[in-house]
Each structure stands twice: as structure tokens, then as C-alpha cells.
Chains A and B, each alone.
Chain A
Amino acid sequence: MLIRLNPSSGVPIYLQIVEQIRHSIEIGALVEGDQLPAIRTLAEELVVSPNTVVKAYDDLEQEGLIRLRHGAGAYVEKGNLAKSRLRRFQEASVVVKETVRKLRSMGLSDDESRRLFEAEWIEEAAAR
């Protein structure tokens, strides 16, 4: 599995692993039933602490994206599409929050910002 980490970015490594595995599932590089490397194998391969991989796998299991079978590795779980949607909404709201904050700090009123968005969407739709 191709996971590229950036340990010095300030983003926790386990989150980077979660993100990349989730992304692989979303784009279909990993499908339901695929086996993921054992915790120690992945830790050795990525040269990160096994605790980090444990955290990542735990997170993914909580999201319902994978299932850990005791002593038999981890597998990509079925029914991940619905959760993935929820995840997307969560991420989108973060983007919106940051954008709103940025626009406000630039001195725009909420009305002005809304008008900018609508103008953009209309233009987009027209281009299509």
C-alpha cells in the first residue's frame, strides 16, 4: 500500500494514515474485503511507532471503514459509502468555517460574501 507520510508537517501521523487509507477506499484503490497490513508490518514499513498505526486503525474502525479481526489482520469493510458522505460533510464544514473567517477578516460583510458565492455558482453552471 502506498502511503506517503510527512512527519514534520505538524499533522499527527495517525491522521495522515487515516486520511490516505480513507482516500484509497473512496477512489476504489482499496475495495471491500481487501486485507490491510498487520499493525506491526505497516509500522515497520512506514517506520513509525506501532501505537500510531493502532490509533489509525482504531479510527478507521470507528468510522466503519475497516474491521479488525483479532489475530487475523484488518479488512476493508463494506457499507462505507454512507459514512464517507458524512465525513465529506464534516470536512466541508471546516472549509466553510475557515473561508467565512477569512472573508470576514478581509472586511467583507456576510451579504457581500454570499453574493460572491452566488456569482461563482451561476458562472460555473453557465460554463457547463
Chain B
Amino acid sequence: MATQVISRPTKRPKKSLSARWADTWFQMKKNKSAYFFMAPFTIIFFTFTVLPVLAGIFLSFTYFNVLQPPRWIGWSNYSLLFLEDDVFLKAVRNTMVYAVVTGPVSFFLQLFLAWLINSLRYRVGFTLAFYAPSVTSGLAMGMIWRVFFATDMYGYLNYALIRLGVIYEPIAWLEDVDTMMPIVIIVSLWMSMSVGFLTFLAALQNMDPELYEAGKVDGVRTRFQEFWYITLPCMKPQLLFGSIMAVVRSFEVSSVATALTGLPSPMYATHTIVSHMQDYAFIRFEMGYASAISVVLFVTMFGLSRILFRLLRS
């Protein structure tokens, strides 16, 4: 959108290594103020991210229960994790379901609602309504949803359904293995109208009206055509950002799942990789095993971030 001229470097003559170093050094000196701006981020990144990551990798090869010093046990945490831990496999499956379902669905929901309310007069009011749930505390809302889905007669949903005659006896929504997962997904979708939604709305608001005029002249007749041929191509960066946000947030589903169904959830029905790690680290105090889980998660995310970096750099 921004008509910023990017001058592509023409083929440079090859320089010797020392010349290139000298060049880099010159650039560094010329832009030395940049390092001042970067310093806070970089310093703390190395102390509070790199150091913990390295420590985590080390701990994943040990048995460590906080009270005794860690004992080196080699690869056995990993072999246990991949070969014998059925719950972990279930957690991986659940995490993938969340990522595949809540990610895309929340993305399209955000885009759709942003597009719908974009041209309305009461846009601000609707924005408030859709955005409000994500401003609220997840814990408090989890408690409200728990009352809503409560098992007994007074649980709102049970009560309503019984009165309508759909069911005859209350359903244990949050203890039943079949209903737990969909409920967690619905609640996290409900809370997902967040940064991505606002980004889409901002992008739609900043669209150049002349483009629509031009499109009309050129034969755009329906709203849908306008959306497909003009709006979407212009929104590419925002769409990319929104999709990244959706994927990142789908890994936060575990906190919704914990708020609704408790930490080891019944039959591990809503267990995710993150909650598996949480379970081993802070309930069973097997820090070594928990570190192995987080290393696996970490490696996955590292791969994901490399892909996203390629996409975002442009």
C-alpha cells in the first residue's frame, strides 16, 4: 500500500573478506546509535531468554525434583516422552486440533465481522461489543462459563434445554469427554476477537475509497466482488499478521482449558502440550521431564518462527 520506493541493489562487485569486514565496521560505527536503542532488548533477551533456554535443555537430560540437585540421566526423559507417554501423544493431538480449528476459525471470524461492521454507522458500538470479551479476565470469564455449563439443574444451559424439552436430565458438559473439547473451543473463539480483529478493522478503515470507485467503473457489481478483488489484495500484510496472531493465540487455549476443566482435565480430554508440561513441573515436580516437554515445544515453535520470519521480513 505504502508507495515506498525500494531501490534494489544492483550486482555489487565482489569484495575481499577484509574489505567486507571494514565495510561492516564502518556501517556499525556510522549507525552506532542504533545499538543504543537495541541494547535494552538484547541484554535482557540473553539473560531472560537464552540463558533459561540453555538451562532448560540441560535440565531435560536430568532427573530434577527441586529438592535434590539434578542427576544426569541422558536421553531417558525423551525416550519416555516419545515412546511410552500416551498422555503426551494425546496432548499433541489436542494441541493440533486447537491450532487447526481455533486458529483458522477465529481468523475468518475476525475478518468477517470486521468487514461486516466496517461500513456501518454504529461501527464503534459493535467494535465495543465484539472486543469487550477479550478485555475481560480469562479467569473471571471462565468462572462465568462454568456456571453457565454447570452440571446440576441450575446450570443455565441444562436448565434452558430441559425447559425446552430437548433433554430430560442434566448433562455434565464440563466433565463429559465428548463435550469438553468443543466447549473449550467455543469459549476461546468467544475470547479471540482481539488484536487481529482491530488490525483488520483498521486496515478496512484506511482503504483508499478511490480504489472502490475505480473498481466500480471497471465493473465490480457486488459487495463480494469488491471484497475479493479489491479489499483482500490490499490487506495482505494485515492478513498475514492476523494469521500469525491467530496461530500464536491458539497455543494459549490451554489457559482457557485449565480455567474451564481443571488441570489434569477428566480423562485428559482437553490436555495440551503446555498443560502436560505444567502438570509435570508444578504438580508432580518432575522438572527434568517437564523441561524435556518444553524443549520439544520450543523446537517446534522455533521452526514455526523461522517460517514466519521469512514471511514477515518482506
Do A and B form a real pair? no
Interface positions of A (Cβ within 8 A of B): none
